[in-house]
């Protein structure tokens, strides 16, 4: 095959992967939004399974897209990206703390506090990732 044709095939593949990436994101959004209204444990488990698979598919498709783009993907894990994520997690935590102070029933308060504990853990995980990313050789 000549170079132009190979290039065209790559571009077409990239465009389709991009559409599929978007489709998987939309599906996941939909599954997440119906999850809270589900009371049936079996259906809930199935939806969790669909979400798990969707996340894995998005990961695979993203790697394929990065491979086509070349190494210089802006979506790489960078120190600055990790610092931004830490700030986002901290903002989530602050927002949830405000929710706790406005919530009047005990169950809502308790669930919100459990999410805050998770967010604090996410911050610690990201701080460790930041440490690990800092030790990468500059590319
Ligand atoms: Fe989080």
Q: Say if residue 39 is in the same domain as residue 61.
A: yes
Q: Say if residue 62 is in the same domain as residue 18.
A: yes
Residues 6+ apart with CB under 8 A from 58: 21, 24, 25, 28
CA of 32 to the centre of ligand 1 (A): 16
From residue 108, alpha-carbon distances to 41, 63, 69, 94, 119 in Å are 21, 39, 45, 16, 17
Reported confidence tier of residue 133, pLDDT bands at 50, 70, 90: confident
CA of 13 to the centre of ligand 1 (A): 33
CA of 56 to the centre of ligand 1 (A): 19
From residue 112, alpha-carbon distances to 13, 35, 86, 99, 131 in Å are 43, 18, 19, 7, 29
**Which of 18, 34, 69 corresponds to the end of one domain?**
69
Tell me what the mean pLDDT of segment 40-44 comes to: 94
Residues lying with their CB under 5 A of ligand 1, a single-atom ion: 89, 119, 122
Strand, coil or helix: 135: coil
pLDDT reported for residue 107: 95
pLDDT at residue 34 is higher than 80: yes
Q: Say if residue 7 is in the same domain as residue 30.
A: yes
CA of 100 to the centre of ligand 1 (A): 16
What percent of the chain clears pLDDT 70, i.e. is strictly above it?
93
User: Is residue 74 in a domain?
Assistant: no
> How many domains are contained in the chain?
2
Q: Say if residue 22 is in the same domain as residue 63.
A: yes
Q: Say if residue 109 is in the same domain as residue 58.
A: no
Question: Domain range holding 20?
Answer: 3-69
pLDDT at residue 84 is higher than 60: yes
Q: Say if residue 40 is in the same domain as residue 88.
A: no
Q: Say if residue 105 is in the same domain as residue 56.
A: no
User: Is residue 139 in a domain?
Assistant: no
**Four-residue CA torsion sign, 13, 16, 22, 26:** negative
CA of 119 to the centre of ligand 1 (A): 4
CA of 84 to the centre of ligand 1 (A): 12
Reported confidence tier of residue 139, pLDDT bands at 50, 70, 90: very low
Q: Say if residue 112 is in the same domain as residue 61.
A: no
Q: Say if residue 86 is in the same domain as residue 65.
A: no
Q: Say if residue 9 is in the same domain as residue 63.
A: yes
CATH number, domain at 128? 1.20.5
Reported confidence tier of residue 20, pLDDT bands at 50, 70, 90: very high
pLDDT at residue 70 is higher than 90: no
Report how far residue 126's alpha carbon sits from residue 129's, in angstroms, rounded to the nearest whole number. 5
CA of 122 to the centre of ligand 1 (A): 5
Q: Is the pTM of this model over 0.85?
A: no
CATH number, domain at 58? 1.20.58
CA of 118 to the centre of ligand 1 (A): 7
Q: Say if residue 93 is in the same domain as residue 115.
A: yes
CA of 95 to the centre of ligand 1 (A): 12
* Structure-token pair, residue 112: 């919100």
pLDDT at residue 53 is higher than 70: yes
């Amino acid at each position: 095959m000549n170079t132009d044709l190979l290039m065209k095939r790559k571009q077409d593949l990239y465009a389709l992967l991009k559409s599929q990436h978007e489709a998987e994101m939309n599906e996941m959004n939909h599954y997440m939004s119906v999850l809270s209204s589900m009371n049936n444990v079996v259906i809930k488990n199935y939806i969790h399974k669909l979400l798990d698979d969707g996340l894995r598919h998005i990961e695979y498709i993203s790697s394929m897209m990065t491979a086509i783009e070349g190494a210089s993907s802006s979506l790489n894990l960078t120190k600055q990206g990790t610092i931004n994520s830490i700030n986002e997690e901290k903002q989530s935590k602050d927002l949830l703390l405000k929710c706790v102070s406005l919530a009047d029933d005990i169950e809502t308060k308790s669930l919100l506090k459990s999410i805050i504990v998770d967010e604090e853990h996410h911050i610690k995980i990201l701080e460790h990732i930041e440490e690990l990313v800092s030790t990468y050789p500059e590319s």
